[in-house]
């Protein structure tokens, strides 16, 4: 009886011990009831990653980090991260392991991603997988803000320099002038607003006037249209008459040109008269004879005119004849 109790007590102790071990492994992310596969990946930086951290496959927990071992490679150090993957999950040739943030508050996990269209071969137990380090949200934000911060610092420096220069330039006299300029600008703006209001009133008045006199304006436009049409008809007639006149003038000019050519060629009496100097010579001779005759008539009128008067004296020639 005592042996039976001791046996049950020992069996209970073993069961409790096994349960404690299983519970501890469970808390570590291990399931002793599932088959596990071991793999490894190499990283240059494992900040925030620790043992017993979860290993996710496409976001789902599938294993745990078993160990992180630093390895010296020349002048640099790399870290071998050993991890397990529980069945029925599998790791493939193109699976990539990346250290990512577990949440915005911090903490790291190892996340395994596989492209379903290009998995490659299934890796065996103890194989090494590809690795990469993804920046967290804060790091990405910090990297994006660094150039902006540099530009902001530069802008603040320029602004500070501008303020210093403006303080040096804007002495009391310049400030007074600036205030006067602003006052003048305000006055100009007021005048501009007043002018705009007057233009709007004028436009409204013109619109009202045009609306009230719309029939009269339409009548005037119709009359103007009729007058323009009549003027167009008259202009067409005048243009036609002008064309006829120009044709007649062309014919007259052609005839005159032929007449002038005939004169130049000494054809006919008029051509000979124009082109020959015989008429000029004869005319000069005639004028000279006429001049001599006139002179002789003045000097010796008795040669040409004889007057017989009753009881008058006889000329010497008549006396000689008697």
Q: Is residue 309 part of a domain?
A: no
Query: pLDDT tens digits for 100-158?
Result: 887 766 678 899 988 888 888 888 888 998 887 665 555 555 556 667 777 777 777 77
Query: pLDDT tens digits for 36-72?
Result: 889 999 998 888 888 888 899 888 888 889 999 999 9
pLDDT band at 306 (very low <50, low <70, confident <90, very high): low
More confident residue, 272 or 209: 209
Query: pLDDT tens digits for 165-174?
Result: 666 655 667 6
Q: What is the mean pLDDT of residues 221-240?
A: 81
What does the pLDDT read at residue 322?
Answer: 45
Please state the domain count of the chain.
2
Q: Which residue has the tokens 């519970």?
A: 23
Which of residues 98, 121, 139 is at a domain's end?
Answer: 139
Query: pLDDT tens digits for 70-96?
Result: 999 888 899 999 999 988 888 898 899
Q: What is the mean pLDDT of residues 17-44?
A: 74
Which domain, by its residues, includes 120? 35-139
What does the pLDDT read at residue 226?
Answer: 83
What does the pLDDT read at residue 13?
Answer: 79
Between 111-120, 172-181, 226-235, the lowest mean confidence (pLDDT) is in: 172-181
Name, in order, each residue with C-beta under 8 angstroms of 92's C-beta and a sequence gap of 6 or more: 114, 119, 120, 121, 122, 123
Query: Nearest CA to 113 among 61, 68, 36, 59?
Result: 59
More confident residue, 188 or 97: 97
* Percent of the chain surpassing pLDDT 90: 6
d(CA 50, CA 53): 6
Average per-residue pLDDT for the chain: 76
Q: Is residue 317 part of a domain?
A: no
Q: Is residue 99 part of a domain?
A: yes
pLDDT band at 309 (very low <50, low <70, confident <90, very high): very low
User: How crowded is residue 38: how many other Cβ atoms within 10 Å of its Cβ?
Assistant: 14
Q: Is residue 51 part of a domain?
A: yes
pTM, entire model: 0.37
Between 13-17, 174-178, 291-295, the lowest mean confidence (pLDDT) is in: 174-178
Which of residues 93, 118, 139 is at a domain's end?
Answer: 139
Between 10-14, 46-50, 270-274, 292-296, the lowest mean confidence (pLDDT) is in: 270-274
Between 93-97, 194-198, 259-263, the lowest mean confidence (pLDDT) is in: 259-263
What does the pLDDT read at residue 310?
Answer: 45
Q: Is residue 67 part of a domain?
A: yes
What does the pLDDT read at residue 24?
Answer: 66
Name, in order, each residue with C-beta under 8 angstroms of 65's C-beta and a sequence gap of 6 or more: 49, 50, 51, 52, 53, 54, 55, 81, 82, 83, 110
Q: Is residue 209 part of a domain?
A: no
DSSP state of 277: S
What does the pLDDT read at residue 40?
Answer: 93
Alpha helices, DSSP H only, in 62-171? 137-169
More confident residue, 312 or 228: 228
Q: What is the mean pLDDT of residues 197-211?
A: 78
Q: Which residue has the tokens 């001049």?
A: 291
Q: Is residue 259 part of a domain?
A: yes
> Is residue 132 within 8 Å of 98, Cβ to Cβ?
yes
**E runs forming strands in the chain:** 36-43, 54-57, 60-73, 76-86, 96-101, 108-113, 130-133
DSSP labels for 220-244?
A: HHHHHHHHHHHHHHHHHHHHHHHHH
* Percent of the chain surpassing pLDDT 70: 73
What does the pLDDT read at residue 42?
Answer: 93
Q: Is residue 166 part of a domain?
A: no
Which of residues 115, 139, 163 is at a domain's end?
Answer: 139
């Amino acid at each position: 009886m005592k042996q039976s109790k001791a046996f049950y007590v020992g069996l209970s102790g073993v069961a409790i011990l096994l349960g404690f071990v299983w519970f501890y492994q469970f808390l570590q992310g291990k399931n002793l009831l599932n088959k596990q596969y071991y793999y490894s990946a190499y990283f240059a930086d494992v900040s925030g990653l620790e043992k017993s951290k979860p290993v996710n496959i496409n976001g789902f927990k599938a294993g745990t980090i078993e160990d992180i071992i630093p390895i010296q490679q020349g002048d640099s150090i790399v870290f071998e991260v050993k991890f397990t993957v529980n069945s029925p999950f599998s790791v493939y040739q193109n699976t990539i392991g990346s250290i990512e943030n577990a949440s915005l508050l911090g903490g790291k996990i190892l996340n395994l991603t596989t492209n379903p269209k290009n998995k490659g071969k299934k890796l065996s137990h103890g194989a090494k997988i590809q690795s990469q380090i993804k920046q967290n949200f804060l790091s990405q934000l910090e990297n994006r803000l660094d150039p902006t911060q540099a530009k902001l610092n530069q802008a603040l420096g320029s602004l500070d320099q501008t303020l210093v220069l403006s303080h040096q330039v804007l002495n009391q006299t310049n400030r007074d002038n600036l205030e006067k300029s602003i006052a003048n600008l305000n006055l100009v703006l007021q005048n501009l607003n007043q002018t705009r209001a007057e233009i709007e009133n004028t436009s409204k008045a013109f619109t009202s006037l045009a609306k009230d006199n719309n029939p009269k304006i339409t009548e005037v436009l119709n009359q103007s249209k009729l007058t323009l049409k009549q003027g167009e008809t008259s202009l067409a007639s005048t243009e036609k008459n002008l064309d006829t006149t120009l044709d007649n003038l062309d014919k007259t000019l052609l005839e005159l040109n032929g007449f002038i050519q005939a004169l130049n060629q000494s054809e006919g009496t008029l051509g000979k008269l124009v082109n020959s100097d015989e008429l000029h010579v004869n005319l000069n001779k005639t004028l000279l004879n006429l001049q001599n005759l006139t002179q002789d008539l003045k000097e010796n009128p008795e040669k040409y005119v004889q007057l017989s008067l009753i009881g008058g004296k006889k000329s010497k020639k008549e006396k000689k004849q008697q």
